[in-house]
Amino acid sequence: MDHLWMCLLILVAHTGSSKSQIALPTAHTVSPFEILPKIVGGYTVTIEQVPFQVSVRRRSIHERHYGMGHVCGGAVISQRVVCSAAHCYAINTTVPLVYRDPELYVVVAGSSAIDRTDRFTQEYLVQRIIGHKGYNGSTLENDIALLFLNGFIPWESHGVRAIPLATQAPEEGTTCLIHGWGKVTMKDKSAALQQAPVPILNRELCQVIYKLPASQMCAGFLQGGIDACQGDSGGPLICDGRLAGIISWGVGCADPGYPGVYTNVSHFLNWIRGANASLDYSEYRQMPLLNLANRRCRWRSVSLGFLVMGIGVLALIMSLLL
């Protein structure tokens, strides 16, 4: 135990004195103990600086109130695939594991602000959700999912661009970047895209705090102050210009002693490649209307029927009176 506390003290000293230079990635390149789906302590960036970042939204809300349907973040990794977190789409009350229908979601890319479009904004319906079959809703292990878009992302856009995958886990002390439109405090969300630097922490220390499997890693400052938060889930952890992690969970938001937990992308390289190879990039589906839209259409039909019937009855009464 003395060794573990010594490790903790050393790491606190290291993170407090870090002077690592932060380079923005370009288009080329705590009581009670509660698990929250995980930017606190960040700063505003534009989508041109992080063109791989997307917002995944509930269609039923998004189509009625633009900017209100945000569920999770994600990162573009090919011209039709977005990488995100499994817990954003899994129905955790089902056994065996089931993921929600893809037509419930829309992916908004190329926007710096969550609540308005700009010249780069593009929207894509989701044709298929491939969630990891080993995802555990209790531990959030294997928290990774791919969204297959029902559209092709044009690479000439300055606001939407794929990010390459990391082929190995980032080393301890590496300063990485997290992004999202989640909460900037425990109460307030940000309409502007946020970015924040977080260092990769010692794996032994992460084990002391969380008992993490090899498929997860932790990053952040032990003194707190900077972290991902609710609404950032599924978003990217970028290290050396590559997608190294997926924002997964944490205890609170930027609380001292509890760094953020991320899915280790390099651990899932074979899974990502296999899932991507199973997709037919030439297939585009006729996406169904939402059930809500169908219900609205049916109610309008019923209302129209009653209106026509009422007009007919009124005409009959008038003819009898005359």
Which amino acid is located at 167 in the chain?
T
Cα(156)–Cα(87) distance, integer angstroms: 32
Q: Catalytic residue, from 62, 87, 179, 267: name it.
A: 87
Q: Catalytic residue, from 84, 112, 190, 233: name it.
A: 233
Let me know if 143 is a catalytic residue. yes
Residue 255 to residues 41, 139, 185, 195, 221, Cα–Cα distance (Å): 11, 20, 11, 18, 9
Number of H helices, E strands in the chain: 5, 16
Q: Where are the beta strands (DSSP E) in 113-189?
A: 122-131, 145-149, 175-180
Q: Catalytic residue, from 143, 227, 232, 255: name it.
A: 143
Let me know if 301 is a catalytic residue. no
- Asked if omega into 259 is within 30° of 0 (cis), the reply is no
Cα(29)–Cα(201) distance, integer angstroms: 24
Let me know if 255 is a catalytic residue. no
- What residues are labeled active site? 87, 143, 233
